[in-house]
Chain A
Amino acid sequence: MPLLALLTLIILISLFIVLYEKNAPFRDNPIGKRQFDLLKTYTKAEAALFYIDQSAKYSLQQAVYDLAQNGGVSELEFNDFETFSGSDCGSFNGAYVWYELRKDKTGYVENSCFDENILNTHLIYYFNTNLNDYLQLHPHNIPLNNYQYDVKDNLEIIAKAHEPLKFSILKIEINEEIRTNRLLKEPAKIVAEAATIQGNLKEFTSTPICAKGSRCILTDESFNQLIKAQEKAKQKGVSLEVYSSYRSQSKQEALWFGKTPENYAARYVDENIRRKYVCDPRNGEKSCPHMSGKVVDIRLRGKTTRTMMSSDWRLLHEIMTSKDEDNNPLWVRYANEPWHFECCNTPRYERAMRQGVTVIV
């Protein structure tokens, strides 16, 4: 009988250990949780797709209105001071001229300025701008400028996505605001959230220093410089936000050859004029520094390029060009664009170093 008591004790202790150990992982990930996470992610994605569908419907209605109101012409905004419509005759009293009658020595010269062939380009541009406004409002990070459009008869727009919508199934749900504040207070933690995608390229999309809807990729070295700049920004009580960074060869080619909503190729048929606004990818990184992964278009977090005041641009410049441990500027600025900064020995950065300046053409 004592042997039986001892045996019972041993069996029950073993049972306790086994059950206790089984219970440990059970608390964090109970049976069925993964399956429900998958279902929840599916419903989130379904809701986001529904949101995109509805937004596209409203965007098209608004685009038709905008296009009609603007005389069938859309204006590309390069910055606060420069817009381009592509209309040869310009505007009169705020309305674009469709037909021009000019008098010269030989008499009256007629000029038809309204090009019906690129009407769809203008419509798509308006549509995409409106859609971006909607997508930016969605709580999930939906990529902007992510579609290639095709206009069918009777005002039907077919859109094909370049990048898929990404939803994390296993990510622990934490309050976005708490996460953002934590990361901005300790920029070093952003490094842990960035992922190496290929070679020396790091992707930091969905982190607080990447604008919502943008895909942010930089080289390792440039990314470290950006984190250093964010440290400086934190000291000044602000934060940085990258809205354009690395562009792949195919992305830059899409821009150049008119495969984006702006359709630069149709607006600027003459390549020499187009080069003023878009860089030619056939010359590689030399003419397109964004392709190097060492360039950012950046602004202060919480602002847009339209709402950035001159004092904001000055502060941004001060932060980005602050000195590193070797007394070199972290980044240098392209003189024609207050948002464009380069680092890490790009040709422009090296020229700026030789001349001892932080702003250079």
Chain B
Amino acid sequence: MAKRKNKKGMGLTDFFSILAIALILVVMYSLLKIFVGQSTFELKGESSRVENIISTIGILRTPINIDGIDANIAELIAVSEFDSSKRTLLEKNLIELMDNSFGTSRCSVICIDENKIESSGCGTFQIYECPLDAVVISSYDKNIIRVAFAYDVKPLSPVRIP
């Protein structure tokens, strides 16, 4: 004769088993959360760094006519180091270039050594930082000039006092 099953006992075992499964799930989820961390590598960040360098080279290669001579933006930068009258021309051309290529709805910044030029999309009373990744170009006096460009730059929290 088959032994009768204790229904109450079965219920308890089931209850503890389900509880154990739930506990295991919670513990394992916590362990995964703790030990299997996230990568610090940001694809978006890396992508914008590469894009900015490519854009900087593109800007520097842009042809321009300086006093009837065919040159490029890099040469205009080198000339303006010595000829201050060319600085206004350089600034005007760079702002135009940034506005036309990257739009006026976002802020683009180009830094030539310490000198910062902002596009029309930048807030007048906002402070923007120079980009970190720079392209090195040569100057006429056998020196180097660092040119760094970034678009869609976010302003720093403090604002300029008007």
- B83 contacts partner chain A, Cβ-Cβ < 8 Å: no
- B136 contacts partner chain A, Cβ-Cβ < 8 Å: yes
- A78 contacts partner chain B, Cβ-Cβ < 8 Å: no
Residues of A within 8 A of B20 (CB): 2, 5, 9
Which of B35, B39, B46, B53 contacts A47 (CB under 8 A)? B53
Residues of B within 8 A of A133 (CB): 142
Query: Is A47 a contact of B36 with CB atoms below 8 Å?
Result: no
- B43 contacts partner chain A, Cβ-Cβ < 8 Å: yes
Of A25-33, A144-152, A156-164, the stretch lying at the interface with chain B is A25-33
- A89 contacts partner chain B, Cβ-Cβ < 8 Å: no
B 52-71 to A, binary, CB cutoff 8 A, 1 in contact else 0: 01101100110000000000
Which of A9, A12, A13, A58 contacts B140 (CB under 8 A)? A58
- State how many angstroms separate the Cβ of A41 from the closest Cβ of chain B: 10
- State how many angstroms separate the Cβ of B6 from the closest Cβ of chain A: 15
Distance, CA A30 to CA B39, complexed state (A): 7
Which of B20, B41, B138: most chain A Cβ within 10 A? B138
- State how many angstroms separate the Cβ of B52 from the closest Cβ of chain A: 9
- State how many angstroms separate the Cβ of B64 from the closest Cβ of chain A: 14
Distance, CA A16 to CA B36, complexed state (A): 9
Beyond A16-B31, A36-B50, whether A51 also contacts B39 by CB under 8 A is no
Which of B28, B37, B136 contacts A23 (CB under 8 A)? B37
Residues of B within 8 A of A13 (CB): 28
Residues of B within 8 A of A36 (CB): 43, 46-47, 50
Within 8 A of A (CB), among B85-118: none
- A182 contacts partner chain B, Cβ-Cβ < 8 Å: no
Q: Say whether chain A's binding surface is mostly helix, strand, loop, or mixed.
A: helix
Query: Is B135 a contact of A137 with CB atoms below 8 Å?
Result: no
- B18 contacts partner chain A, Cβ-Cβ < 8 Å: yes
Query: Is A40 a contact of B138 with CB atoms below 8 Å?
Result: no
Beyond A1-B14, A5-B21, whether A43 also contacts B57 by CB under 8 A is yes
Query: Is A4 a contact of B17 with CB atoms below 8 Å?
Result: yes
Residues of B within 8 A of A16 (CB): 28, 31-32, 35
Residues of A within 8 A of B140 (CB): 58
- A54 contacts partner chain B, Cβ-Cβ < 8 Å: yes
- State how many angstroms separate the Cβ of A336 from the closest Cβ of chain B: 31
- B130 contacts partner chain A, Cβ-Cβ < 8 Å: no
Which of A4, A39, A55 contacts B138 (CB under 8 A)? A55
Within 8 A of B (CB), among A36-76: 36, 39-40, 43-44, 46-47, 50-51, 54-55, 57-58
Query: Is A26 a contact of B13 with CB atoms below 8 Å?
Result: no
- B143 contacts partner chain A, Cβ-Cβ < 8 Å: yes
Within 8 A of A (CB), among B117-146: 135-138, 140, 142-144
User: Chain B residue with minimal CB distance to A3?
Assistant: B17
Which of A8, A23, A30 contacts B41 (CB under 8 A)? A30
User: Chain B residue with minimal CB distance to A8?
Assistant: B21
Residues of B within 8 A of A39 (CB): 50
- State how many angstroms separate the Cβ of A307 from the closest Cβ of chain B: 16
- State how many angstroms separate the Cβ of A38 from the closest Cβ of chain B: 10
- Contacts A2-B20, A40-B49, A137-B144 known; 11 new A-B pairs at CB < 8 A: A1-B18, A2-B13, A2-B16, A9-B24, A12-B24, A12-B25, A46-B57, A47-B56, A47-B136, A51-B136, A138-B144
- Residue pairs across A and B with Cβ atoms less than 8 A apart, 17 shown, are A1-B17, A1-B18, A9-B20, A9-B24, A16-B28, A20-B36, A27-B39, A36-B46, A39-B50, A40-B49, A40-B53, A47-B57, A54-B137, A58-B138, A137-B142, A137-B144, A138-B144
Give chain A's interface residues, CB within 8 Å of chain B: 1-2, 4-5, 8-9, 12-13, 15-16, 19-20, 23, 26-27, 30, 32-33, 36, 39-40, 43-44, 46-47, 50-51, 54-55, 57-58, 130, 133-134, 137-139
